[in-house]
Amino acid sequence: MMERRYEAYKTHVARPFFRDHFSRLDRQIVLVDALAALNSGSAALRELEGAMTDVLAAFRAGRASLLSTIFRPRIDRILFAATKADHLHHRSHDRLEAILRHATQRAIARAQDVGAQVDVLALAAVRATREAQVRHDGRTLDAIIGSPIAGETIAGETFDGAGEAAVFPGELPQDPRAAFRGEGLGAREEDSAWRFVRFRPPVAAPDAGLPHIRLDRALEFLIGDRLT
């Protein structure tokens, strides 16, 4: 029964949606939860690497032309976006981007070979934290402040989703290959070089928009040329 339902889903939902919607795209953003993979270890990162290559293979990437735009659109700009950048201090964003770039290097090479423009960016469509520096054991640490969602645990403390906490998420390796080798993730949470928790979104002010991180840069890359 499950097999029949899965085949019906592919036939009546997935394939028509892919054919009628994705086949007409000429710009693509791929949202990647790299932090979750980092929390899970090197095996999850390698699985992510393979998944990104497979995802891009399903799309028609390449340099756009007038004829292709009319009859057979090609995706000529692709943005790989590491989400939840607000769960890290901005000093670590370049390292997060380097890890995602390493995970997507085969997909990027394939897209660039056929003339597509590709970029990698760490972003947060809604910023749930703010930054601070804290002192711990004589060290100054780059921390983030926010409200962890109910059930999140930090250093043995479980949060109820109401209070704020200053969190030091750790330091990502300078060499992205170290994360894929499993360096930095210990057998226990307290032994790991990094640990990322989930935060509640901020309360929106009635007279202001929600804060974000690099959403403007993402839009500039994807559609900026269409607005000039």
Same domain, 36 and 83: yes
Tokens of 47: 């699985």
- Same domain, yes or no, for 146 and 57? no
Asked, for residue 198, whether it belongs to a domain, the answer is no
> 121 and 214 share a domain?
yes
Q: Is residue 200 part of a domain?
A: no
User: Are 145 and 172 contained in the same domain?
Assistant: yes
Q: For 100-147, write each residue's pLDDT tens digit.
A: 999 999 888 888 888 889 999 999 999 999 999 888 788 888 899 999
203 within some domain: no
Q: pLDDT tens, 201-219?
A: 888 777 777 899 999 999 9
- Indicate if 29 and 140 belong to the same structural domain: no
Half-sphere exposure of 150 toward its Cβ, with a 13 Å CA cutoff?
3
What pLDDT, on a 0 to 100 scale, did the predictor assign at position 190?
55
Asked whether residue 59 is domain-assigned, the answer is: yes
Domain-located, residue 204: no
Domain-embedded: residue 115? yes
Whether residues 120 and 135 fall in one domain: no
Same domain as 40, residue 76: yes
pLDDT digits (tens, 9 = 90+) for 153-192: 877 778 888 888 888 888 899 999 998 888 766 545 555 6
Structural domain harbouring 158: 130-191
pLDDT confidence of residue 129: 94
Residues 96 and 139 reside in one and the same domain = no
pLDDT at 69 over 70: no
Same domain, 111 and 145: no
Give yes or no: residues 57 and 162 share one domain: no
Same domain, 18 and 50: yes
Span 76-104, pLDDT tens digits: 899 999 999 999 999 999 999 999 999 99
d(CA 222, CA 64) in angstroms, rounded, equals: 14
Which CA distances in Å does 23 have to 46, 58, 68, 176, 192?
Answer: 28, 10, 12, 33, 42
What are the tens digits of pLDDT across the range 20-40? 877 778 888 999 999 999 988
Residues 114 and 171 in one domain: no
Beta bridge mates, 78: 28, 118
Domain tally, the chain: 2
In which element (H, E) is residue 29 found? strand 27-32
Share of the chain above pLDDT 90, in %: 39
For residue 103, tell me if it sits in a domain: yes
